[in-house]
Amino acid sequence: MISTVATEAEHAVEAGVTGGFWVDNAGIMLILPFVAFLLILAFGKRMKNHGAELAIGALAINSIWATVLFVMNMTSGVLGQTTFEIARIGSDLVFELGWVVDGLSIMMYFLVSVVGLIVFIYAVGYMHGDVRVDWFFAAFSLFAGSMLLLVGAPNLIQLIIGWEGVGLASYFLIGFYWEDMANVNAGNKAFMVNKVADVGLILGAIILGVAIGTFDFAEMDLAAAEHVESLSTVAVVGGALLFFGAMGKSAQFPLHIWLPDAMAGPTPVSALMHAATMVTAGVYLMGRVFPLFEYLAAEIRPWMVWIGAITLFAIGFLALVADDIKKVLAYSTVSQLGYMMTAVAAGGYTAGLFHLFTHAFFKALLFLGAGSVIHAVHSNNMSDMGGLRKHMPRTYWTFVVGTLALAGIIPLSGFWSKDEILVTLGFEGYTAVMVIAIAGAFVTAFYMTRAVALTFFGEYKGHGNPHESPAIMTVPLVALAIPSILFGLFNVPGWEIPGIGNFSEWLAVRVVPMGDHHPEAIDFVLAGSGLLAAVLGIVVGWAIWGRDRETQAERDRFDIPVLYPLLRNKYYIDDLADGITAGTMGPVARFINWVNDYVIDGIINGVALLTKGLGSFVYGVVDQRGVDGVIHGLGAGADGVGSALRRWQTGRIQQYAASVVAGALVLIVLFVFVI
């Protein structure tokens, strides 16, 4: 029996330091964007900036809150959990809503709020004068709010609620320009690919929740840490299903196909989606249930590592042939998500999430930079760009910072996080994957150099006179460039910023403390190879595209015959997915259509005919002849009787009197002689 009474049964998982006001009320952060969403829907049209004020206000409060928590967690670990019971299934399965405050969730609160705030401010400039701006900011708030609900979830159920909320909001935003059918299709594709993966997530949640007896992450982690052997089979199945769910959201091969198409939305959406709110959800989930894979479901980890490896290497190449600058960045995101997933799967909890952290800043920076360029040239295609270095200096410089960070050039943030991943892969014994990851670093630097060269160098190939974007768009670029440069220093091996520890210590603050491998000193060979690969990528890329003044069409002639079509067609995975969908679902759909046309319609038509016949019978025979016959008969009978009897009413008084007398005589006779 399910009870729907919400009791105020609060309980905090007390361990280590708990944190007073900021921790106990951290749920505010989960609610504010939703409040903004509703308010913008209600009043956005009448506001001066179409509700952007509300969206930015909500995230500004969130950013302050998250920064306070982030700093508190640096100096002394912060751990707390507040839940409210919503429903109870049976006696022990409880559905609760609430928020969890620990190293991992604080990092995500910080990321979503701060990056979200910067992107929101940028969006005010980018979306200026566009259609449906109020709806844009409403859906954007919903997007950020759902992500906060997801990362703040103390249990799998709330995580799924946030997860689906993120999917819904992304669907709204990808299909934002719904006047164009291609954008609508992109939204549908993203939604459906995610739905396929969501089946895995939901099944995994049910299996794990029922088998372990709780949906609560803290209790799940504790159960996993106790090495309960009876749970290991369940954990493998449930963990694999959760990973499948994460593959969808975090765009792992072969479920990455939705992400490049998701570029159909406005550029700030892409920035937020690729940096903080959507694609990180899968990696976050893996980090959240990390003890499950660490202690119980270790068998599937190699599979996860290899899926990540394929993703990081193969998909990166696709960025080499894309002409749409946003698609270059999209493939780059898929590739970087491969790094994160590989690292987490290999056991590098800190490595994967640190890369998520640094990547969020420089990828948001790159997308916003691309948006600034698109805003200036009114085209997504790099064949319409070129030479923008002179026209848009601020965009150019910040874009270069993002590129170097992404490529992994020391000392920018991407170098440190990528190095940590390489070290982890080596330490855990995945040497082959480590080599692939180094090769991936080369590819990354290669395609980013191409993007920079085609966009900012050479001659301008587009129309009109491009000019630098307004300050409301360039200031966010600078605001993101600074953390892209500096935040790598949070986790330098063998060194820490005095007094505040390093990133792996902050992230280790969990109910089950995370004690993964953190290198004591820089491995110069590994770091050197990674850096070398990146530099090589830049040099080769520059050699090919740096002096380029040709158009895209002429450039295409020099490409390698077999490889080029393969890449242009995205390894045919999209076609394969279409084929699989059409091949498996098509016959099923046709069969169901046939069943619908002939069986169900037949039954319905039969029932309708039967009903019609019955109706005719009831009307014609029962009603018209039976009921009406009785009534007409009664009428006719009364009429006949009346006609017969009225002859007695002659109007002659003496006849009546005679009748009375006769009646009296009869009575007298009766009384006297009979009775």
Partner 1 sequence: MLLNQFLILAAAMFSLGIYGLLVRRNIVLILLSVELMLAAVNINLIAFESVLRSPEAIGQVFAIFVITVAAAEVGIGLAIVLMIFRNRKSANVDELDLMRW
Nearer to partner 1, 588 or 661 (CB): 661
Q: In this chain, which of 649, 671, 672, 674 binds partner 1, going by CB under 8 A? A: 649
> For residue 111, what are its two tokens?
């990321």
Q: Work out how close the CB of 648 gets to partner 1 at its nearest, in angstroms, rounded to a whole number.
A: 9
Nearer to partner 1, 465 or 649 (CB): 649
Which of 85-93, 331-339, 552-560, 653-661 is the region at the interface with partner 1 (rule: CB under 8 A)?
653-661
> For residue 274, what are its two tokens?
């690729």
DSSP letters, 383-394, are GG---HHHH-HH
How far is residue 230 CA from its own chain's centroid?
Answer: 33
CA-CA distance, 447 to 432, in Å (whole number)?
Answer: 23
Interface with partner 1 includes 659 (CB under 8 A)?
no
Alpha helices in 76-180 (DSSP H): 103-126, 133-151, 156-174
Q: Work out how close the CB of 653 gets to partner 1 at its nearest, in angstroms, rounded to a whole number.
A: 6
Q: In this chain, which of 432, 600, 634, 661 binds partner 1, going by CB under 8 A? A: 661
Interface with partner 1 includes 658 (CB under 8 A)?
yes
Q: Work out how close the CB of 617 gets to partner 1 at its nearest, in angstroms, rounded to a whole number.
A: 44
Strand order in the sheet with 80-89: 2-3, 80-89, 93-101
Nearer to partner 1, 43 or 656 (CB): 656
Interface with partner 1 includes 650 (CB under 8 A)?
yes
Q: Work out how close the CB of 674 gets to partner 1 at its nearest, in angstroms, rounded to a whole number.
A: 21
Show the binding pattern over residues 52-71: x = contacts partner 1 (CB under 8 A), - = does not. --------------------
Q: Work out how close the CB of 643 gets to partner 1 at its nearest, in angstroms, rounded to a whole number.
A: 10
By CB under 8 A, the count of residues binding partner 1 is 11
Nearer to partner 1, 624 or 650 (CB): 650
Q: In this chain, which of 471, 634, 657, 670 binds partner 1, going by CB under 8 A? A: 657
Nearer to partner 1, 557 or 652 (CB): 652
Interface with partner 1 includes 557 (CB under 8 A)?
no
- Using an 8 Å Cβ cutoff, are 191 and 202 in contact? no
> For residue 398, what are its two tokens?
């910040």
How far is residue 526 CA from its own chain's centroid?
Answer: 35
Interface positions, 403-422, toward partner 1 (CB under 8 A): none
Name 468's Cβ contacts closer than 8 Å, sequence gap at least 6.
376, 391, 392, 393, 394, 395, 474
Interface with partner 1 includes 671 (CB under 8 A)?
no
Backbone angles phi, psi at 526, to 5 degrees: -65, -50
Which of 137-145, 230-238, 356-364, 644-652 is the region at the interface with partner 1 (rule: CB under 8 A)?
644-652
Interface positions, 306-365, toward partner 1 (CB under 8 A): none
Largest CA distance in the chain: 145
Interface with partner 1 includes 230 (CB under 8 A)?
no
Interface with partner 1 includes 129 (CB under 8 A)?
no
Asked if omega into 565 is within 30° of 0 (cis), the reply is: no
Pairing of strands 80-89, 2-3: antiparallel
Name 109's Cβ contacts closer than 8 Å, sequence gap at least 6.
26, 29, 62, 65, 66, 69, 70, 148, 151, 152
DSSP letters, 267-305, are HHHHHHIIIIISTHHHHHHHHHTHHIIIII-GGGHHHHH
Kindly tell me the sign of the dihedral angle through the C-alpha atoms of 494, 499, 503, 508: positive
Interface with partner 1 includes 646 (CB under 8 A)?
yes
Interface with partner 1 includes 652 (CB under 8 A)?
yes
The footprint of partner 1 (CB under 8 A) covers 646-647, 649-654, 657-658, 661
